[in-house]
Amino acid sequence: MSAGQNDPQMAAMIAGLVGLLDVRETAEPLHFAGARRPGGIGRVFGGQVVGQAIMAASKTVAEDRPIHSLHCYFMRPASEDHEIDYAVDADMDGKAFSNRRVVARQQGKVLFNMTASFHAPESGLSHQMPMPVVPPPEDLGSFADYVALHPDRASPVFKRLIARPSPFDYRPVATLTPEALAQPHPGLAYCWIRVGTAPIDLAQALQRALLGWISDSLLLASAYRAHGIQIGTGGYQSASIDHSMWFHGEIQCGDWLLYAVESPWTGDARGLACGRFFARDGRLVASTAQEGLMRPVTA
């Protein structure tokens, strides 16, 4: 699976993550089953649903047409107690593009839908915005470091991220103290992210499914951060409403990726956040956008 994942525990965690995302065909044509996360409790993480939907759609398209965009809506929370059924409609296969619709159901109820477009690579005009200049991940602390230093004041979201061994490594480009995080920060925020410790030998469909998982991890948090609030600390009901991604190039989630996120707007109990993923060599490899629920909880 990977080159350089020498830690057996890390290799096993990555294998489990890939197995979770790699949905399996069912007896019903164009239907795929998304497995339950081992040890999962409560609500399924939205990024898992996005990643499984990417894989379900990708399994119905030729490998030389990678997914280049997706737009999805979350309608109901998914439970960790049951598998998820992903039904794919193959709407179009043209000369260069394919289009798919995916509807996710659990116990007969629709909980998520996605439209996705796939495109065979072509030559044409090319440009991108430059990668931000930030410190390298090796010079930065992790969320685990922050929780260890501030165990009583760290957000429950941070604590959940490190509650058990994980293949995901997050290195935020920020001063992680309770005082700093309490200051409103409406501008760009940056975080280095990778899966494992070395490049992972996976097809692009799975690399992009992994990035779909990762992409859901910091967006809504940036909308709260604009107000000096750590997501999950209480007082607000939070949930992803919709999520979009655009893939611009080859993805390698085993290498460090810089996630640049910002929230241009909040209002009406919703928040909008946007993000960009840069490979360490400076390539812009994906862009994201998400609107989420930020409803004040009243007694």
pLDDT at 1: 46
pLDDT at 30: 98
Q: Rounded to whole angstroms, how far apart are CA atoms 148 and 127?
A: 42
pLDDT of residue 46 exceeding 70: yes
Mean pLDDT of 269-291: 98
Q: Which residue has the higher pLDDT, 62 or 142?
A: 62
pLDDT at 175: 80
For the chain, give the mean pLDDT: 93
Confidence category of residue 207, pLDDT binned at 50, 70, 90: very high
Phi, psi (5° rounding) for residue 75? -110, -35
The counts of H helices and E strands in the chain are 7, 12
Confidence category of residue 4, pLDDT binned at 50, 70, 90: low
pLDDT of residue 54 exceeding 70: yes
pLDDT at 299: 66
The model carries a pTM of 0.94
pLDDT in tens, 60-80: 999 999 999 999 999 999 999
Q: Which residues are catalytic?
A: 216, 240, 290
pLDDT of residue 153 exceeding 90: no
Q: Domains for the chain: give ranges and CATH numbers.
A: 8-122+133-296 (2.40.160.210)
Phi, psi (5° rounding) for residue 174? -165, 160
